[in-house]
Amino acid sequence: MAPISYHLILSGILFTIGVMGVLLRRNTIIIFMAIELMLNAVNLSFVALARHLGSMDGQLIVLFVMAVAAAEAAVGLAIILMVFRNKETINADELKLMRW
Amino acid sequence: MDLLTFFMLAVPLVLFAAVVILHPSPVYSAMSLVVVMSFLALYFFFLDAHMLGWFQIIVYAGSIMVLFLFVIMLLNLQNDPQEHQQPSLRTASRIGGAVLIAELVFLFSRSSSSEKAAAELPEGFGTVVALSEKLFTDFLIPFEITSILLLIAAVGAVVLAKR
Amino acid sequence: MEHAHATAQALSLSLSVSYLRYIPLFPLLGVLFNIFLGHRLGRKAVNIVSPGMVFLSFLVSLHAFWNLPEGGRLVDTMWLWISSGTLHVDFALQVDQLSAMMILVVTGVGFLIHVYSTGYMAHDHDVARYFAYLNLFTASMLLLVLGENLLLLFVGWEGVGLCSYLLIGFWYTDDEKASAGKKAFIVNRVGDAGFLLGLFLLFWTLGESNVWTLSFSTIQQHIAAVPAEVATVICLLLFVGAAGKSAQIPLYVWLPDAMAGPTPVSALIHAATMVTAGIYMIARLNFLYALSPTALSVVATVGAATAFFAATIGLVQTDIKKVLAYSTVSQLGYMFLALGVGAYTAGVFHLMTHAFFKALLFLGAGSVIHGMSDEQDITKMGGLKSKMPVTFWTFFIACLAIAGVPGLSGFFSKDLILEEAYASPLGSPMLWLVGTIGAGMTAFYMFRLLFVTFFGENRASHEVQHHIHESPASMTVPLAILAVLSIVGGYFPLLHFLSPLFGEHHEPHVAPLIKYLPTVVGLGGIALAYVMYVLNPAIADNMARGLSAFHKLLFNKYYIDEIYDAVIVRPIVGMSNWLWKVWDAIVIDGTVNGAAHTMEANGSLLRLWQNGNVQNYALSFLIGAMAILGYYLW
Amino acid sequence: MVSAVIFLPLLAAVLLLFMAKEEEELARRFALGVALVTFVISLGLLVNFDSSKADFQFVERVPWIADFGIHYYVGVDGISLFLVLLTTFLVPIVLLASWDVHSRVKEYLFFFLMLETGMLGALVALDLFLFYVFWEVMLIPMYFLIGVWGGARRIYAAIKFLLYTMVGSLLMLVAILYLAYLHNAQYGAVTFDLLQLYNLKIPEQTQLWLFAAFALSFAIKVPLFPFHTWLPDAHVEAPTGGSVILAGVLLKMGTYGFLRFALPLFPDAAHAAVPTIMALSVIGIIYGALVAMVQPDLKKLVAYSSVSHLGFVMLGMFAFNMQGIAGSVYQMLNHGISTGALFLLVGVVYERRHTRLISDYGGLWKQMPVYASVFLVTMLSSIGLPGLNGFVGEFLIMLGAFKANVWAGAFAVSGVVLGAVYMLWMYQRVIFGELKHEENKKLTDLSPREIAIFTPLLALMLLMGLYPQPFLTRMEKSIEATLARVERKTAVVQVEPVEPPPVQVVAER
């Protein structure tokens, strides 16, 4: 039986890949995907621990995470559409409106 | 879930995850993300989370990724070869990433020493029955809130995307 | 000396009365009248009220003088002024032999000068303000001499300083006069600082043996409580105050400049009363000074040095008032010499006689200036003998008196001082010699002044000459009275009158040579002046050319003023400029504003990080997460 | 009664806001009326003040935030009585003097009355927390007074004033809280009540730190030597009324703070700090006088003279003997009156000529004789001429300081000389001399209103100079009590909890 730490390490790796994606890529869509990846990494660790501790709560949390991820994806993509329509570009480093 | 299956699943997962963030073309990234999602579903099955596994396929791989592909198609994005200009930011993030991996690995590996045998699973663990039973008793309120959340998200998406 | 038994006896009798307060009160009323009603009621009323008030206080002083108990004193305690913790100071006045004599001189000579001023200031439009200051001065001087304790004496002390500031700078429109007034006040203030320190030291040393007092009689009773070396320090500090007020060597510079004020002011303040305050104070604290011979010898040497030094400068001055100013400084030197050798009675005696003839000299000079339409340079005068007979004769009598010609008041007091200087155990032949040479010089420059102004032919411009006129009666009458006083002054039984305070006076028996030499030297001085300035004036001019360097040095007053200015005034102003511009503006303000700037600088640095790039913020997240994890792992 | 005096101005200030903007005259008369009423009530305090008792009178104590032991606890003793009177005396005068402020009159009066409440509150507060609240309440209106109605660089001056004082007082807040904590550690109950805190046993080392915190905050306010640079800016830029109150009362908060809080609460630290504070105050005296000498600007000169005068006050206070402290409290009053009058005089001329430079004036005596004579008397009182109020204060201070430390006394006396130098030099350049400038020829002498302002001040200068006894006897007992507290040695090495003393049940209102 693979020890629990393996699962957690795997989820850590996936999570880091997601973070790198967010930080490195210019295209907002890709950044979005990276975020989804991070969420999935977390789900993975939840399920692994649920299995390990034998309680269903972990899985329920994953359920809710999925719901939230869905909502977030919907709204995020809508925003990206709006941005694209106005700015003709969705590169993160060109969207600098928040400068002081 | 013995070691062999673990590695059988882990390696492709990591590879495809890397492809998601490295591949210049967004379509390829999206497709590789779908693959990652499905492997994860498989992973869930092995971890006795059958219901979740299906959920994963339906919700994630099915709807969210489709949404992504739809938006990518809508914006017909071309390849986006170069990464963003700020070299300092890029190097900083790479270093950051490396340190993060190192920390996580170190953290989790250390915890393995206090290994405890996987708990004895109650009968029907991970099935719809157990899941729904818990969902509608202990987690009733979060369930309701999530439903409202999804409603708001839907309305928001519609308003935003409208002309 | 025979002080021991005298002190015990003086304390026996102190009658408490309640009319002493009117002596300073009358002039104060005069002040209020002049300030509030003066302008409205016009010159006539002012000319009557102001001298009248001084005359009233003269009468009260006479009354106090008459029923002064033999060897005792009159005390009039009004109210408790300051009392905090162990310090109790009453607002109380006292009259004993010394203050009786002083108030008589102050009110008497003061009254004559007030009358003289009505004539002198006839054409000045600001008479009310002038008499307000003059009355205020008389009140403060009376408070000074009547004060029952050191603090009240100090109140009068600074009060007269203030009035001299106001009166010197009376014609305020002329900046030079105003700054002369300022100089007088500041130099006095320096002296007062020394006085204050002496007062504190005295108070706390007495306090050590639980004697909490500042009043003279109680100090006198417990004088034993003051150890000798502390007494020396106290006396020297108080002497600094006296030197400031009575214009002795280091602090005399203000007196010659004080001549910028109207002449009656110089007569009253800078000849008769204020400058004698220092001598009065030392005479009043004779029991304290008796404790420390070293302090006394310092007083004597400074006195003799000032007498000699000022006389030399007086030899060559051409401004009539400057000559008299330096002569005052020199005569004050004599008084301090007398006090220094322990001859308090002689010093006070000379103080009184000096008040008479010096006031007369100043008033005479005033009437000359008045006649010569405000011309003060004696080289432009001459031959006034025929035109202003009364002024000439009174001036002549005063010159005889100051020169110490036998028979007149000056002779009695000055020669007594010189004999005491020689005979007294504290004195020394050297002091006597310096005094005698000084006496010779005094006689020389006084008669030089007399001959140059009143003899020979008039050197003034034509139109000044033709309306030289004798001063009106209101000016000549006081001159005459003062002339009589200068003659008679010597015969007042003052030595016996002051005996309760300073002990029975014994004629110092001294070799005839020592006794008569000063008079001979004086007469020689007069003769020399006569030869040089009347027989053939040429001698004086070629003498001046001959020793031109020495003459120039004397004429410019040894450049003392310039030295003081360079050594004290300019560095202080320079330093304060430096303090303000460098220290305050750059160092302290710099640090304060610097702190503000560093805050701002850090702020702008952080702002760069906030560049709107979302991924930048994500990176911060990452760094934060790593830090937390690191903390946990560590 | 004391609370009436404190909150009446605040009440009036609030009522003032409801008035229409145009009726400036009505607002002014109303504010003046209220200030006068407050003054009359405070006279009531003076009349039935029992000078034989040392402890606080007219005490009012109402629980405010009970569970933190914070009470609305006010009372008056010999020291604070006269400062309260000085405040209530100066405010009507200042309101009378600011009759020619025409921009935003209502707000001006509002801030002034609020300022008065802040000052009075701080003077009578016996609960450290309450004191801190009033201490901060004081700053805000002053900030606006300087910031809105001030001169050219008012914003810089106002901010500098506020930040400078704020930094200091924050440290004090920390110290206050620590004191409450200490009291809890020792007696088991958290309280900010001053009288309880007086008998705290604090180890030497902590005492030093706490004293330093309090001392810094008060030293900035005094202002003691290195912390004084805000004063000239604040004074130069403040409107006339503002700088009179700033000099008259706000500076006294610092010295009052030392006397009421810093010294009695931390006696050993106070004794340890004596040499430094004495040195700083002596430097302050001489430095203030020297720098004042070369100021081209009248108000800056008077501001630096305040630095010098308050150096005297601090010197007297740290002499730790009866004469020194009585002198310093008395000098606080004198300084309030004479420097207040000086600022009013500068204001009178500033209103007419709108310039503060000494070189612009000269020969005013011929043009404005009454003004010149009032200026003369005020100047003499400020340089401490015997017979006027300045002398009594300075004499007592120097006497006390001389006993405590001979050299301090000697240098202080030189301060008196320097004081005469810069004042006389200024007086000569402004009043004496030729009437050179054309504009000076058109200056009008004091108006009846202005004379009404100066008569009470001049009368007080004379009265306090010739007959200071009523003031000194009333202060005597409370100064003795403070001295006793300062002399007692309380530092114990370790803090061991002792059973709490019975909390004094004071008449709950």
Q: Which residue of D has its CA nearest to C596?
A: D160
Q: Do B3 and B68 belong together in one domain? A: yes
Which residues have C-beta within 8 Å of that of residue C201, sequence separation ≥ 6?
Answer: C230, C233, C234, C237, D402
Chain A residues touching chain C at CB-CB below 8 Å: 19, 22-23, 31, 92-93, 95-100
Residue-level pLDDT at C235: 92
> Which segment of B112-121, C307-316, C403-412, D13-22 scores lowest on mean pLDDT?
B112-121
Cα(C281)–Cα(C288) distance, integer angstroms = 11
Reduce the DSSP state of residue B27 to 3 states and report it: helix
B1 and B76 belong to one structural domain: yes
Q: Which residues of D touch C182 (CB under 8 A)?
A: 424-425, 428
Q: Is residue B69 part of a domain?
A: yes
Q: In Å, how far is D176's CA from the nearest CA of chain C?
A: 26
The enclosing H or E element of C415 equals helix C409-423
Q: Which of chain D's residues have a Cβ under 8 Å away from the Cβ of C172? A: 363, 365, 431-433
Q: Which of A69-78, D215-224, D488-497 has the lowest mean pLDDT?
A: D488-497
**Residue of A15, A27, A30, A93 to mutate, interface with C, max C Cβ within 10 Å:** A93
- Residues C468-477 have pLDDT tens digits of 777 888 888 8
Q: Tell me, yes or no, whether B23 lies in a domain.
A: yes
Tell me which chains share at least 3 CB pairs under 8 Å with chain C: A, B, D
- Measured in angstroms, the CA of A97 and the nearest CA of chain B are apart by 17
Question: What is the Cα–Cα distance from C197 to C437, expressed in whole angstroms?
Answer: 36
**What residues in chain C have their Cβ under 8 A from chain A's Cβ atoms?**
607, 610-615, 618-619, 622
**Chain C residue with minimum CA distance to B104:** C629
Q: Which residues of B touch C613 (CB under 8 A)?
A: 86, 89
CA nearest neighbour of C65 among C57, C282, C273: C57
C20 pLDDT exceeds 70?
yes
Distance of CA D317 to the CA centre of its chain: 14
A20 interaction partners in chain B (CB closer than 8 Å): 21, 93-94, 97
Answer yes or no: do D386 and C154 touch at CB < 8 A.
yes
For residue A41, pLDDT over 70 is answered with: yes
Chains D and A touch (3+ CB pairs under 8 A): no
Rg (CA), chain C: 30
**3-class DSSP assignment, residue D72:** strand
Residues in chain D: 509
Distance of alpha carbon D284 from alpha carbon C579, whole angstroms: 12
Name C15's bridge partners. C74
Q: State the nearest Cα–Cα gap between B96 and chain C, in angstroms.
A: 7
Asked if residue B9 is part of any domain, the answer here is yes
State whether B20 and A75 contact (CB < 8 Å).
Answer: no
pLDDT at D256 over 90: yes
Tokens representing C156 are: 């009068």
The size of chain B, in residues, is 163
| d(C-alpha D93, C-alpha C506), whole Å | 65
**Strands C87-95 and C73-84: what pairing?**
antiparallel
In a mutational test of the C interface, the residue from A8, A23, A29, A89 whose CB has the highest number of chain C CBs within 10 Å is A23
Q: What is the pLDDT of residue D142?
A: 92
- H-state helical runs in chain B: 3-22, 26-46, 50-55, 65-75, 87-112, 128-135, 140-161
* C and A adjacent (3 or more CB pairs under 8 angstroms): yes
Distance, in Å, from the CA atom of D68 to the CA atom of C468, rounded to the nearest integer, reads 92
Sort residue C85 into left (φ over 0), alpha (ψ -120 to 50) or beta.
Answer: left
Asked if residue A73 lies in contact with residue B140, where contact means CB atoms within 8 angstroms, the answer is no
Burial class of residue B159 (count of CB atoms within 10 Å of its CB; 0-12, 13-18, 19+): exposed
Minimum Cα–Cα distance from C619: chain A residue: A23
Residue B85, chain C, CB below 8 Å: the answer is: no
- Contacts C38 to D, Cβ<8 Å: none
D185's tokens: 């550690």
CB contact (8 A) between residue D434 and residue C173: yes
Evaluate if residue B83 carries a pLDDT over 70. no
**B106 at interface of C, judged by CB pairs closer than 8 A:** yes
Alpha carbon C353 to chain centroid, angstroms: 17
* A38 shares contact with chain B (CB less than 8 Å): no
What share of chain C has pLDDT > 90, as a percent? 9
Mode of pairing for the β-strands spanning D57-65 and C14-16: unpaired
Model confidence at D303: pLDDT above 50 = yes
Q: Is C524 helix (H, G, I), strand (E, B) or coil?
A: helix
* Cβ-Cβ contacts under 8 Å, D280 against chain C: none
CB contact under 8 A, B160 and A27: no
C625: chain B residues, CB-CB within 8 Å: 100
Per-residue pLDDT of C510-524, as tens digits, reads: 778 778 888 888 888
Q: C172, C171, C105, C114: which is closest to C141 by C-alpha?
A: C105
CA neighbor of D197 nearest in space, from D317, D79, D70, D314:
D70
Closest residue to D294, CB basis, from C86, C172, C573 = C573
Interface mutation vs chain B, best among C616, C629, C632, C634, most B CBs within 10 Å: C629
Q: pLDDT tens across D124-149, in order?
A: 999 999 999 999 999 999 999 998 88
pLDDT band at C66 (very low <50, low <70, confident <90, very high): confident
Tell me: the pLDDT tens digits for C567-624? 888 888 888 888 888 887 778 778 888 888 888 888 888 777 777 777 778 888 888 8
- When scoring C609, C614, C615 by the number of chain B Cβ atoms within 10 A, the one with the most, hence best to mutate, is C615
- The shortest CB-CB distance from B96 to any of C616, C619, C632 is to C619
- Point out which residues pair with C301 in neighbouring strands: none
Could you read off the pLDDT of C260-302 as tens digits, one per residue? 888 888 888 888 888 888 899 998 898 888 888 889 889 999 9
Query: Do B and D make contact, counting contact as 3+ CB pairs within 8 angstroms?
Result: no
Contacts of D321 in chain C (CB under 8 A): 85
The arithmetic mean of pLDDT across residues D469-477, rounded, is 89
Q: How many CB pairs under 8 A join C and D?
A: 139
Residues of chain C in contact with residue A97, where contact means CB-CB under 8 angstroms, are 612
Give yes or no for a contact between D38 and D116, defined as CB atoms under 8 angstroms apart. yes
Cβ atoms of D3 and D75 closer than 8 Å: no
Distance CA(D212)–CA(D465), nearest Å, equals 35
Tell me which chain A residue has its CA closest to the CA of residue B87: A24
Chain C residue whose CA is closest to B100: C626
Residue B31 lies in a domain: yes
> Is residue D58 within a helix (H) or strand (E), and if so which, with residue range?
strand D57-65
D334-366, pLDDT tens digit by residue? 999 999 999 999 998 888 888 888 888 888 888
B72 and B12, same domain (yes or no): yes
Reference D390, options D457, D470, D478; nearest CA is D457
Cα–chain-centroid distance for residue D359? Answer: 30
Q: Is the peptide bond before D223 cis (omega within 30 degrees of 0)?
A: yes
For residue D508, what pLDDT is reported?
Answer: 41
DSSP letter for each residue of A35-51:
HHHHHHHHHHHHHHHHH
Question: Which pLDDT band, with edges at 50, 70 and 90, does D496 fall under?
Answer: very low
Q: H or E stretch including D91?
A: helix D78-97
Q: What is the pTM of this model?
A: 0.81
Question: Measured between CA atoms, how close is C618 to chain A, in angstroms?
Answer: 7
- At residue D497 the predicted structure's pLDDT band, cuts being 50, 70 and 90, is very low
Total domains present in chain B: 2
| pLDDT for res D121 | 92
Q: Which residues from A are below 8 Å from C629, CB to CB? A: none
Distance (Å) of CA C306 to CA C194, C312, C402, C570: 19, 10, 17, 26
- Percentage of chain C lying above the pLDDT 70 cut: 98
Taking an 8 Å cut-off on Cβ atoms, the answer to whether C81 and D467 are in contact is: yes
- pLDDT tens, B93-131? 888 888 888 888 887 777 655 556 666 777 777 778 888
| Per-residue pLDDT tens digits for D365-383 | 888 888 998 999 999 999 9
D223-248 mean pLDDT: 88
- Mutate one of A25, A27, A99 to test the C interface: name it (highest C CB count within 10 A): A99
CATH code, domain with B24: 1.20.120.1200
Stretch C420-447: mean pLDDT? 86
C313 vs D490: which has the higher pLDDT:
C313
Angle at C28 between CA C23 and CA C29, to 5 degrees: 100
Contact check, Cβ <8 Å, C85/D322: yes
- Specify the DSSP class assigned to residue C259: G
User: C201, D428: Cβ pair inside 8 Å?
Assistant: no
Is the domain covering A4-94 a CATH 1.10.287.3510 domain?
yes
> What does chain A come to in residues?
100
Domain that holds residue B163: 128-163
Nearest chain C residue to D402, by CA = C200
pLDDT in the model for residue C8: 43
pLDDT in tens, D74-127: 989 888 999 999 999 999 999 998 888 888 888 999 999 999 999 999 999 999
Query: How far, in Å, CA of C447 to CA of C533, rounded?
Result: 9
Token duo for residue D181: 């904590």
What does the domain layout of chain A look like in residue ranges? 4-94
Q: Compute the distance between CA of residue D253 and CA of residue D249 in angstroms, rounded to an integer.
A: 7
**Terminal Cα-to-Cα distance of chain D (whole angstroms):** 12
> For residue C199, which amino acid is it?
L
Q: Does A1 touch chain B (CB under 8 A)?
A: yes
Would you call B84 and C615 a contact, using CB atoms and an 8 Å cutoff?
yes
**Separation CA D379–CA D419 (nearest Å):** 10
**Residue C10 pLDDT greater than 50, yes or no:** no
Write the DSSP symbol of residue B113. Answer: T
Cα-Cα-Cα-Cα dihedral sign, residues C431, C433, C438, C443: positive
How many Cβ atoms sit within 10 Å of the Cβ of residue D370? 12
Q: How would you class C461 by CB atoms within 10 Å of its CB: exposed for 0-12, middle for 13-18, buried for 19 or more?
A: exposed
Identify any residues that bridge with C9 across adjacent strands, giving them in sequence order: none
